[in-house]
Amino acid sequence: MFAIDLQAQLTATTIARIPETLLKEIENQISNFPNKFGAIAASKYEEVDQVGTTIWNLCTRLRRDFESDNPKDIPIVLLLTRVFSFLLLDGAYDCGKNAPGNLARLMKIGIKAGKNCIGMRYS
């Protein structure tokens, strides 16, 4: 699963040393993310939710290395990784046993991901 590989790569390196190929792969994963999970992925919604949450929290920790609140100063890899983790969490929510608090959590994460991407620098 790409998400697990992404988590390992983000954990093992600094943001300044993220390979360009990883950025391109994140973009590809976002562009081709399925609207609905298949039956196999749906049966693993808890695992998908856990990985999505871990990646989101990792991005939050890595983002703290940057002093600015301006999204233009945050490396694009962190912004795109947050979008990817939101997609994972949304897919897990659609497939899982939806606890009432999960929708509020998902909306909060979606708003943060979108807010960070507004005005981001993208080349």
Q: Phi, psi (5° rounding) for residue 111? A: -65, -45
Q: Residue 119: CB partners within 8 Å, gap ≥ 6?
A: 70, 71, 72
pLDDT tens digits, residue range 69-122? 665 667 888 889 999 999 999 988 888 777 777 888 899 999 988 887 886 655
- Mean confidence (pLDDT) of the chain: 83
This prediction's pTM: 0.82
- Reduce the DSSP state of residue 91 to 3 states and report it: helix
Domains in the chain: boundaries = 2-117
